[in-house]
């Protein structure tokens, strides 16, 4: 196995880990501070970028004891304007990219941009200060590396030059409510709690429904699979609207709305045995799991 000798057996050479180069802002990383503890200081074989996404509960930009990782957060990797790879944090808040996903760059000055969108996280989520304190790298093992774009994105720039060096890029986020989310409701909850609706009408598959009409359909789920899809899609959309994390469900909601636009509207008598439902059922099941608190947001109870 080919290892970088200076990394002491770990595959991540911290000295060349990350270039956070926001125009005139470039950092070269030196030695790790003694006495600091990082959730992740190396990436492992075959991984060229990795890191810890966590809830920076006191908003100091540092990984303090008791601050939890954030699960099911999407990390997007861009080269220029092209989305080249996606990663999702695990239950402990860790993500990684392989050398196949982010191959070494050969053009001088080229880099990958890793981005997390805080606007799809809990309401009020903000990007933690980067390179705290005072934009130095003395706390790099435990500080946040993502830079606030000012538009709700946390961005970091990674120059991958070989397949052996793991670049550790950590992202902290501050949520004013800590890790508390409103929690997801099931179709039954949204059917029986009209006052909890955050909107008075909702657009499903390109068609607007009043809350009252949508609630009628939630109570009228039958063999017609458009009613089944409606019964998971509307609650999923409402659960996102009230501030639950959506990173694990946003693309499914988009796909389900596209499905409703194609095979709906609700009440179009799509059979369970139809080719349409072969496409639709996995979307429904994903949203059903989300609504029951089994994915990236807790159940409201």
Select the span of 5-13, 107-115, 145-153, 176-184 touching Ca ion (CB under 5 A): 145-153
Binds Ca ion by CB under 5 A, chosen from 72, 117, 140, 288: 140
Shortest gap between Cβ of 16 and Ca ion (angstroms)? 14
* Interatomic CA distance for residues 88 and 245, integer angstroms: 13
Rounded CA separation 135/189 (Å) = 46
CA distance 98 to 292: 32
Identity of the residue, 58 or 262, whose beta carbon is nearer to Ca ion in the bound complex: 58
Q: Segment contacting Ca ion (CB under 5 A): 59-67, 90-98, 179-187, 251-259? A: 59-67
Q: Which of residues 239-268 bind Ca ion (CB under 5 A)?
A: none
Among 117, 170, 224, 288, contact with Ca ion (rule: CB under 5 A) = 170
Cβ of residue 10: shortest distance to Ca ion, in angstroms? 16
The length of the chain in residues reads 301
Binding segment toward Ca ion, per CB under 5 A, in 112-120, 148-156, 167-175, 291-299: 167-175
Find the binder of Ca ion among 64, 110, 162, 216 (CB under 5 A). 64
Q: Quote the CA–CA distance of 160 and 144 in Å, as a whole number.
A: 19
Closest alpha carbon to 156 in 223, 53, 77: 77
Segment interacting with Ca ion (CB under 5 A) among 94-102, 117-125, 137-145, 200-208 = 137-145
Token pair 């060229």 is found at 48
**CA separation for the pair 99, 192 (Å, rounded):** 50
Confirm or reject binding of residue 147 to Ca ion (CB under 5 A): no
DSSP 266-288: TTS---TTSHHHHHHHHHHHHHH
Q: Is 12 in the site for Ca ion (CB under 5 A)?
A: no
Query: Are 54 and 127 a contacting pair, CB within 8 Å?
Result: no
Nearest residue (CB) to Ca ion, 167 versus 225: 167
Q: Which of 26, 30, 58, 207 binds Ca ion (CB under 5 A)?
A: 58
**Which of 20, 47, 48, 62 touches Ca ion by CB under 5 A?**
62
Q: Where in the chain does DSSP place strands (E)?
A: 47-55, 74-79, 82-88, 94-98, 112-117, 126-127, 147-148, 153-158, 167-168, 171-174, 201-204, 207-210
Q: Judged by CB under 5 A, which of 7, 41, 60, 74 binds Ca ion? A: 60
Q: Does 130 bind Ca ion (CB under 5 A)?
A: no
- Residues that bind Ca ion in the complex, under the rule CB under 5 A: 56, 58, 60, 62, 64, 140, 143, 145, 170
């Amino acid at each position: 196995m080919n290892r970088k000798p200076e990394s002491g057996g770990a595959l991540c050479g911290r000295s060349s880990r990350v270039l956070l180069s926001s125009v005139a802002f470039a950092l070269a990383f030196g030695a790790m501070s003694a006495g600091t503890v990082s959730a992740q200081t190396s990436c492992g074989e075959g991984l060229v970028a990795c890191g810890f996404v966590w809830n920076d509960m006191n908003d100091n930009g540092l990984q303090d004891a008791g601050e939890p990782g954030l699960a099911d957060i999407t990390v997007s990797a861009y080269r220029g304007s092209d989305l080249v790879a996606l990663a999702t944090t695990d239950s402990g808040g860790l993500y990684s990219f392989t050398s196949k996903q982010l191959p070494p760059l050969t053009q001088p000055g080229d880099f990958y941009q890793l981005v997390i969108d805080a606007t799809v996280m809990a309401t009020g989520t903000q990007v933690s200060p980067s390179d705290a304190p005072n934009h130095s790298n003395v706390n790099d093992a435990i500080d946040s590396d993502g830079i606030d774009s000012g538009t709700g994105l946390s961005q970091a720039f990674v120059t991958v030059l070989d397949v052996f060096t793991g670049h550790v890029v950590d992202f902290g986020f501050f949520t004013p409510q800590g890790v508390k989310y409103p929690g997801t409701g099931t179709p039954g909850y949204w059917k029986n709690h009209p006052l909890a609706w955050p909107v008075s009408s909702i657009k499903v598959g390109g068609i607007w429904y009043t809350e009252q009409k949508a609630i009628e359909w939630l109570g009228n789920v039958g063999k017609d699979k458009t009613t089944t899809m409606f019964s998971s899609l509307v609650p999923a959309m409402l659960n996102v609207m009230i501030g639950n994390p959506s990173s694990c469900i946003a693309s499914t909601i988009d796909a389900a709305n596209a499905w409703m636009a194609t095979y709906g509207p609700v009440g179009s008598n799509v059979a369970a045995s139809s080719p349409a439902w072969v496409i639709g059922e996995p979307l429904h099941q994903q949203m059903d799991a989300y609504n029951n608190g089994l994915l990236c947001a807790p159940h409201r109870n």
